[in-house]
Amino acid sequence: MRAADATRTPWLRTFRPLGAEAPTLVLFPHAGGSAGFYRGLADRFGSDVDVRAVQYPGREARAGEELVDDMEVLADRAAEALLPLAGRRLAILGHSMGALVAYEVTRRLEAEGVPVERLFASARHPPHLPGPGDDHPHGPDDDHRHSADDDHRLRHLLDDDAFAEMLRDTGGTPATLLDEPEMRDYLLPIVRNDYRLVETYEPSDGPALRTGVVSIAAEGDGTVTAAQVEGWRRTTAGSFEHLTFPGGHFYLLERPDALASAVLTRLGWDAAAR
């Protein structure tokens, strides 16, 4: 990977640009999400933490760019954009699909010698466990052959009406966007692309992370169980902790202050946030 100027890359939206001495938290959005989703949460981390969010292609300021539906490609490009942050106190948080992307990016950063203080994996089962819409566990020991019989389990293959209804049930997507034909026509291809990325993702074999991992589940999340989320402990040879919050899949919109406090405490960045 080749380092680029992090202050100019379209891959990162910086909410509060600070000097290299400031601790830096990078946030990865969910399927269909954009960097702007984290605007409110970013404010909760205080004035002395440099908070940035990854901007996937095909949304917000990158709306004219081609969507990426391959995890390897997405993680390679996102990790390249983060390389200039080497030397900073760096932590990464990913929500839902973003947890998987964040995991793959952390693997790449470790391979490049860039330390990550902690990976926070929110509301998503780890790569080696199946989730809703997945037809099998992903892992180096699996010997699964995809067949047409599996397709009914893959949400990215649903027709538009069924796909939109699934998004309503998951939450996080305002009903007004799904009810307005023009907005729906804009939104569904983006979200479908991201579901395709997740549902065709098969992690490559490799060592466990050296980075410590904190998995985060929500008590009322209908998309993944707390036990599945706790499975992230298998991804790291470093420290591990599992947290549970009240709320649904998008609990972080309901309890941003509590989430920010938990993240800062575990990083020891509390003083920086004051």
Q: Which CATH class is domain 12-133+204-273?
A: alpha beta
| CA–CA dist 10, 56 (Å, integer) | 9
- Which pLDDT belongs to residue 53? 98
| CA–CA dist 247, 81 (Å, integer) | 33
- Which pLDDT belongs to residue 167? 79
3-state secondary structure the chain: CCCCCCCCCCCEEECCCCCCCCCEEEEECCCCCCHHHHHHHHHHHCCCCEEEEECCCCCHHHCCCCCCCCHHHHHHHHHHHHHHHCCCCEEEEEECHHHHHHHHHHHHHHHCCCCCCEEEEECCCCCCCCCCCCCCCCCCCCCCCCCHHHHHHCHHHCCHHHHHHHHHHHCCCCHHHHHCHHHHHHHHHHHHHHHHHHHCCCCCCCCCECCEEEEEEECCCCCCCHHHHHHHHHHECCCEEEEEECCCCCHHHHCHHHHHHHHHHHHCCHHHHC
Active site residue 34: no
For the entire predicted model, the pTM comes to 0.86
* Each residue's pLDDT tens digit, 224-259: 999 999 999 999 999 999 999 999 999 999 999 999
Q: Is pLDDT at 265 greater than 50 in this prediction?
A: yes
**Do 114 and 92 meet the contact criterion of CB atoms below 8 Å apart?**
no
Per-residue pLDDT band at 133 (split at 50, 70, 90): very low
**Do 120 and 91 meet the contact criterion of CB atoms below 8 Å apart?**
yes
CA atoms within 13 A on the CB side of 41: 29
Q: Is pLDDT at 264 greater than 80 in this prediction?
A: yes
Q: Is pLDDT at 2 greater than 60 in this prediction?
A: no
| CA–CA dist 132, 125 (Å, integer) | 10
Q: Is pLDDT at 220 greater than 60 in this prediction?
A: yes
Please report, rounded to a whole number, the percentage of residues in the chain having pLDDT higher than 70: 84
- Which pLDDT belongs to residue 227? 95
For tokens 């004051």, what's the residue? 274
Q: Catalytic residue among 34, 96, 122, 215, which?
A: 96
- Which pLDDT belongs to residue 160? 66
Domain ranges of the chain: 12-133+204-273
Work out the angle at residue 176's Cα, subtended by the Cα atoms of residues 259 and 62, and round it to the nearest 5 degrees. 70
- Sheet of 90-95: strands edge to edge? 12-14, 50-54, 24-28, 90-95, 118-122, 212-218, 240-245
* Each residue's pLDDT tens digit, 135-190: 333 333 333 333 333 334 687 767 767 878 777 776 667 677 777 778 777 888 89
